[in-house]
Structures are given as C-alpha cells and as structure tokens.
Amino acid sequence: MLESRIIQSAGRWARMLPLSVCILVLASCGGGGGSASAPSASSAPSASTSPPASDASSTAVTVQPPPVSDSSDGDLPDISLFTPAWGTHGVFTAAADCSQCHSGATDGSGVLRDPVTDEAIGPHDGWSHSVMAHSWSDPFFRANLEDEVAEFPQLGSTIEDKCLTCHAPMGRTQAHLSASNLAIDQSCLTAGGCFQQTTADAQMAAREGVSCTLCHQIAPDSSGSRSSGQYEISPSALTIYGPVMNPVTQPMANNTQYQVAGSDHVSASSLCGTCHDLRTPAVDANSGELTGSDFVEQAPFSEWRNSDFNLGVSTDKQCQDCHMPVINGYATRLATMPGGSANLRWPERQDYSQHSFVGGNTYLLSLLSDNRAALGLTASTTTTGFEKQIQANRDFLQQATAQLSFTQVGLQDQQLAIDVEVVNLAGHKLPTSFPSRRVWLNLKVIDASGTVLFESGTPDANGFLPDDRLTASAGCTAVAKPADYQVADCYSPHHDEIRSADQTQIWESVMADTNGHPTYALLHGSQYIKDNRIPPRGFRTDDGRYSADIAVAGLATADADFNRAGAGEGSGTDQVHFRLNWQGLPPTGLRIEARLLYQSVKPAFVAGLQNKGEWIDGFRQLYETSKPQPELLAEVRSTLN
C-alpha cells in the first residue's frame, strides 16, 4: 500500500528538494505549548495542538544534554582529503581555477583588496571559508540526511538525490545532465535515477558545495518563482552570468571553457530563492504513507517577498545586499591576470559584492574549523580563515539583525513593569530558514549589591534553557510517542506577558506531524503548531504577496502587539511585557539588563536524531564536545533609582 502511494507521488517528488539543513541566513534564523511539569504516567496520549497559556519549567534545573548513542565510539566516517584543484567536471570548474584571476591582487595594485586593511577580498577569498563552500561537509546536515534515510528507507535514494540538489549541486546536476553516476533502486522515484551520497563522497566537484560555476551558471528565471532546487543550468551553453552589463569577455574565453554575459538576475533575491524556499512532501505519522500534501520546511525568499525590502523600487534590498555586502566608495577591477597582477586596462567597477556570504551560523563554522583534518579540509581551508569568517558572521548578527529597547520601566503598587521591544532588521523572519534555530529574550533585574533578583531566559553552560529539560527529552523527541505523551510538555509557548522566572519568550517555529505532535523527522513535518518568528517590516496578511506558506501560527496570532504598531500589521516588531510581583524587594537602585540571544541548533534537534549511523553518532560526539553557544544579537540596559 505504501509503495503504491509512493509511485503515484513520484512526479511531485521529482520536483522537490527535501531535508535541506540550509545554510544561508541569519539573520538564521504563533504560540505553542508547554507546561514543563512532569507528564502523568496515567495520562492518555493527546493529539491536541492547543497550546497552554504559560510554561512551568524551573530555572533551577541544569538541563542534561541528549545522550550520545551507545552503539558507536562517535568518530566521524573516514573521509579522504578534499583536493581543491580538481579541474573540470562536465559543465563545472573548480573554484581553485577561478581563484587564479578572482582573488586579491599580489602586486600592490589594491585590486580586490580591502582599502583599509589590505586583506584579500576577491570572490574566492571570501567564499572559501563560508558555509556555502561547505554545504556538503556540514556534519549537522550529514547527520540529518543519514537519520532521514534511516527513518524512511523506502524513499532513501530519492531523499539523497533531492538533498544533494542544493548541498552537492555540481555533482548532482552534472550526473543528471549526463545521465551518469545515477543509481536506480526501489527507493528512487526520480526519472533516470538518483544521485547518492556515496557517489558524492567520491567526487571533489560534489564535495565543493555551492561553488562559483554553480551559482554563476544558473539561467535567468522570468517567473522569479523557482524553488526547492528547481534552478536550471544549460548542458551546453557554458555561460557565466555576472551583474555587470558590459563585461570584458576575452580573458574569460581565453582562460576557461566559458563565455561571460551580464544579467540582472545574478543580483536578485530570486536566485537565492531557488534553494532557500523549500517544500517537502509529508508522510503520515500513523500509516507511513505520503499524504499528498506539501510542507513548507523553510521560506526565507517568500518572507522577503512579503516585506518592505521588496516594494518594486530602486531602493529595494535583495538578499545579496545584506549577505554579500559592498564597501561604500570602493571601486575595483573584478579580476587580475593569472598570477595575481592587475591589468590596468580593464575598467574599475563600483559596488563590488564581497563573496563572504555572512550569516548567522557561527556554530557550523566552529565545527568545521575544529575538525578540519577529520573532515578532509586541511588542503582547502585554514583555522585563521574560519576564525575571520566566524567574526564576520558575529559582527553581522550584532549589527544587522535586531534592535532591542525598553519602552517602559516602572514600579507601581509593588509591581515592577518592564516592557521590551524587539525590532527585526532582517528582510525575512527572525530567525528564519531551518526550524532548528531559535531566538529568545534574556532579562535580569539586579540590585545595588549585584544580586540577581529576577531572571528569565538565562542559558546554562551548555546553552540550554529550562524548557529544554522536557522539549529535548526522549519522550518529546521520539518518532513514536510514549503512552504518557502530552503535546503541551513538548514545546514552549509564545508569551505576550511574563510574570515568573520559569517563563521565557522564545521566537521559533515548531514542526508537527499529522497528529499535531512536535516532530524532528522532517518528512513527518505536516504543519507548524507554533511559528512566532518575528516577521520582517512590511509583512502583512492582506498583501497580495502573502501566502499561507509563511503564516504566523499559534498564540502569536492573538498577540495585539506582535507585528503591529497601532492598528495595522507590518511593524516587524514584538513587545514582551514583564509584570513582576515586587513586594518586599528593593524599589530603587535596580539595574535592568536585556539580551536578545540566537542559537542555530536547539537541543531537541540533536535529541531528535533517532537512528544509528556513522554521521549521526559522529555529529553527536562533536556536539558533546562543542555545543552551540548562544550568539548575542542585541542588548540594552536601564536603571530604576
């Protein structure tokens, strides 16, 4: 029965990219349930998706991290050394070849070098330590892919083929263009065969991730609506598209297999949207059959499209404007001659976009840096390069993601009232992309002696919040829920008002299966029972660009100041109102501190890796050694005297 349903859905599968633990963003980066009281052993399973009004977890608890599988020593699989000078692979060419002309000049001319620091800022210089370059090497992605294939073996080859469309795009695309290196088995639903991860591991082109000749060969899309890996690359055109309308063409033709052409689409958000809007088919949690419905795993592009960043005017901000920043007032030639010398006859260009691809994922970069040898990256990366990229991402998070302010601090009738406003500065939800990401508010009230009188949202040394004691528990993250399972225990609610230290305002999305239960198996994702991520400025449900794919879900829909300033939608803000009983506590000499914190992998997504495998156990061992610490997005202080 399952097989017949799968075959009927093969055409839809072939147009989708499931399971991508995507890497862009940022900022990265509704209501929902969670009484954190222990579930009753006698209570029956509940399919209710109605969230409770508040959470009751205790800040006194130090949360224990998910255990590492006992079945493995935790070592990563044996990985050969990545060789960056791999030459050509069909229509694709190694980034190392591009670097011969598209790295910082070495002759003192200043071409593709920072005008202040003189650091090399050529396309290859920025890209080589970015998450884009390591979309295949990402151990969290590899663990999720392995887990998903183990959970749904009847779809294994199809899952791998679709994931690799955006995580190993050069290997997968060339395989389908040439009808080679494809496997055909019962789990492959893709016409012509499936590109598998074992094949990708053996190809340097596949292991290079999202590289130069992938993005710059994607053909223009007149509709601007391709998604889920539906980019198009010609098998014969060999055209490199760039943003300059009058490019110098002969050097490219003389030194490579390509012709160069100017096209606006290279600078448009729709190019990013081909992989950064993702719909996946849903599998029924009870029957194991495809439901025939799709699930929006992430939609940064659609979120951007329904925002003030996309008004159809010259001042619109595209994805590239934030993630590939220009240096104001800087002009440079876009290439050197092979060997690094400038050709002064070539024109200088304004608005050169740095290829650093800054975003919110410092944790992945740290894992890559700390495990370069184990991941086979010692010939293509340096520890210093990763450190610079981590700092660039951290600066980006703190400067371009959010603003935090107090709109009220006062004491009346023995109640301390503190209102905190969060402003989303990004062109998409905060946080956005893969649902493992979360942002939360950490507030402390401190007296004149330095004693903390109240705190909410303070993480422990592992980066865990009090709510994680249950949300990352075995019962909550299991695919098959235990008999005493309660939905309300397994995710944290949206809060408009906070009255006690056991409440934390967390902005996140929570996937749920067909029973309405939180799930961490991506193909079981059927709906969101909580999505209170702060929308971008201009996000409105009455806008023609709006769709249910990007809807707010849960208690945030009833929050009067969520994405609202006055009567209308679209403020891109949320306010959290603290109302604290201050009876018997000092009324003056108080210091109030608020921090907005971001985490790219919340603990439940590690506990949710339910199966056994080399990448699963290897990643969990890395996680035990180095957990994702919260990143600071914004902070503000005030006093009450």
pLDDT score at 225: 77
3-class SS letters over 162-201: HHHHHHCHHHHHHHHHHCCCCECCCCCCCCCCECCHHHHH
Q: Give pairs for 125-128: CB < 8 Å, separation 24+.
A: 125/99, 125/355, 126/354, 126/355, 126/356, 126/357, 127/95, 127/211, 127/212, 127/355, 127/356, 127/357, 128/95, 128/99, 128/380, 128/381, 128/385
pLDDT score at 19: 35
Task: Tell me phi and psi for residue 573, to 5 degrees.
Answer: -135, 165
> Per-residue pLDDT for 305 more than 90?
yes
For residue 502, give the 3-state DSSP assignment. Answer: coil
Reported as a single tens digit per residue, the pLDDT across 166-176 is 999 999 999 99
Residue 283 has, within 13 A of its CA and on its CB side, a CA count of 24
The residue-averaged pLDDT of 378-382 equals 98
Predicted structure pTM score: 0.89
pLDDT top residue among 394 and 33: 394
Contact yes or no for 596/441 (Cβ under 8 A): yes
pLDDT score at 637: 98
pLDDT score at 224: 73
Reported as a single tens digit per residue, the pLDDT across 517-558 is 999 999 999 999 999 999 999 999 999 999 999 999 999 999
Position 101, amino acid:
C
> Per-residue pLDDT for 67 more than 70?
no
Assign 74 a pLDDT band (cuts: 50, 70, 90).
low
Could you write out the DSSP letters of every residue in 223-262? SS---TT-----SS--EEEES-SS---HHHHHHSS-EEEE
- Give dist(CA 100, CA 324) in Å, integer: 21
Structure tokens at 402: 């959010």
What sign does the dihedral 610-613-619-621 (CA atoms) show? positive
pLDDT score at 398: 98
Q: Which residues contact 63 (CB under 8 A, 6 or more apart)?
A: 460, 462, 464, 465, 466, 468, 469, 472, 603
- How long is the chain? 641
Give, as one character, the DSSP assignment of residue 582. Answer: -
Q: pLDDT over 90 for what percent of the chain?
A: 86
pLDDT score at 5: 29
> Per-residue pLDDT for 593 more than 70?
yes
> Per-residue pLDDT for 55 more than 50?
no
How many other CB atoms are there within 10 angstroms of residue 568's CB atom?
10
Burial of 196-234, coded b for 16+ CB within 10 Å and e otherwise, reads bbebbbebbbbbbbbbbbbbbbbeebeeeebbbbbbebe
Task: Tell me phi and psi for residue 186, to 5 degrees.
Answer: -65, -20
What sign does the dihedral 327-329-335-340 (CA atoms) show? negative
Assign 52 a pLDDT band (cuts: 50, 70, 90).
very low
| Chain position carrying tokens 């080859």 | 157
Assign 155 a pLDDT band (cuts: 50, 70, 90).
very high
Reported as a single tens digit per residue, the pLDDT across 477-519 is 999 999 889 999 999 999 999 999 999 999 999 999 999 999 9
Element (H, E) at 145: helix 139-151
> Per-residue pLDDT for 113 more than 80?
yes
> Per-residue pLDDT for 51 more than 60?
no
> Per-residue pLDDT for 206 more than 70?
yes
The residue-averaged pLDDT of 273-281 equals 94
> Per-residue pLDDT for 21 more than 80?
no
pLDDT score at 638: 98
Task: Indicate the average pLDDT of the chain.
Answer: 89
pLDDT score at 567: 77
Assign 64 a pLDDT band (cuts: 50, 70, 90).
low
Give, as one character, the DSSP assignment of residue 553. Answer: B
How many other CB atoms are there within 10 angstroms of residue 611's CB atom?
17
Instruction: Identify any residues that bridge with 407 across adjacent strands, giving them in sequence order.
Output: none
